[in-house]
C-alpha cells in the first residue's frame, strides 16, 4: 500500500502492520490503542477549536483555563496549571492574552506576593458561560455516537487508563 492508498484511518492499520513487520517485538494492540486514542483526541480538539473557540479568538488551552477558573473559582496560577493539565509557562502566556482581552484578572496573592492569583472578570464569566453552551452542543454531537452504556464504559476505561501508575503526567 502506498501513501496515496491510505486515508486517515487506514493509516493506523498500515502503521501497526508495518511496525510489527519491522520490529517484531512490539505490542501491536497497545500501539493501535494509543494511536487511535491520539487521533480521536486530535479530531475532537480540532473540532472544538474550529467551531467553538477560534471564532471567539481563543485557543483550546485558553478555553481550558477559563473553564478551570469558572468551575473552581479564583486560584493561584500554579494551581490553575495543575487543574487544567497545562504547564505553568503555558498558563502564564495564556493569562497575558486573556487578561489583555478583559476575561481574566491577575493580582498578587495575599499570602505569597511572588505568586499570582487568577480570577474571571464579569466579562470572562459571561464569555465562558456562552462558550460552554456551544462547547457542550459539540460534546453532545460527539457523544451521541455512543449509547449511554457505551459512554459509561468508555469513561470508566479512560479513567482506568489515566490512573495508570508509573507514567508521567503534569502535576
Query: What is the DSSP code (8-state) at residue 105?
Result: E
Q: Where does the pLDDT of residue 171 fall: very low under 50, low under 70, confident under 90, or very high at 90 and above?
A: low
Instruction: Output the pTM of the full model.
Output: 0.86
CA atoms of 149 and 60, how far apart (whole Å): 28
**What are the tens digits of pLDDT across the range 12-45?**
999 999 999 999 999 999 999 999 999 999 999 9
pLDDT at 170: 66
Mean pLDDT of the chain: 93
**Average pLDDT for residues 119-148, to the nearest whole number?**
97
Q: In percent, how much of the chain has pLDDT > 90?
A: 84
pLDDT at 109: 74
Give exposure, 16-48, as e/b (b: 16+ Cβ within 10 Å): beeeeeeeeeeeeeebbeebeeeeeeeeeeeeb
Number of Cβ within 10 Å of residue 104's Cβ equals 24
**Average pLDDT for residues 5-11, to the nearest whole number?**
90
**Average pLDDT for residues 136-159, to the nearest whole number?**
97
**What are the tens digits of pLDDT across the range 56-95?**
999 999 999 999 999 999 999 999 999 999 999 999 999 9
Grid cell in block for residue 1: 500500500
Match 479564583 to its residue by C-alpha cell. 74
Query: 3-class SS at 128?
Result: helix
Sign of CA dihedral 150, 155, 156, 157: positive
pLDDT at 169: 67
pLDDT at 43: 96
pLDDT at 116: 85
pLDDT higher than threshold 90 for residue 166? no
Beta-carbon contacts of 23 under 8 Å, excluding residues fewer than 6 positions away, are: none
Q: Who has greater pLDDT, 1 or 79?
A: 79
**What are the tens digits of pLDDT across the range 36-64?**
999 999 999 999 999 999 999 999 999 99
Grid cell in block for residue 63: 478555553
Amino acid at each position: 500500500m502506498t501513501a496515496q492508498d491510505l486515508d486517515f484511518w487506514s493509516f493506523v492499520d498500515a502503521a501497526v502492520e508495518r511496525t510489527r513487520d519491522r520490529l517484531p517485538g512490539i505490542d501491536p494492540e497497545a500501539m493501535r490503542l494509543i494511536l487511535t486514542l491520539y487521533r480521536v483526541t486530535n479530531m475532537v480538539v480540532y473540532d472544538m477549536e474550529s467551531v467553538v473557540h477560534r471564532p471567539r479568538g481563543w485557543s483550546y488551552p485558553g478555553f481550558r483555563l477559563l473553564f478551570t477558573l469558572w468551575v473552581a473559582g479564583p486560584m493561584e496560577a500554579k494551581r490553575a496549571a495543575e487543574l487544567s493539565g497545562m504547564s505553568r509557562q503555558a498558563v502564564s502566556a495564556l493569562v497575558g492574552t486573556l487578561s489583555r482581552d478583559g476575561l481574566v484578572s491577575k493580582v498578587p496573592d495575599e499570602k505569597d506576593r511572588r505568586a499570582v492569583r487568577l480570577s474571571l472578570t464579569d466579562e470572562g464569566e459571561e464569555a465562558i458561560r456562552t462558550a460552554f453552551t456551544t462547547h457542550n452542543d459539540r460534546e453532545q454531537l460527539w457523544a451521541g455516537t455512543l449509547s449511554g452504556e457505551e459512554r459509561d464504559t468508555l469513561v470508566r476505561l479512560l479513567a482506568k487508563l489515566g490512573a495508570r501508575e508509573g507514567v508521567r503526567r503534569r502535576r
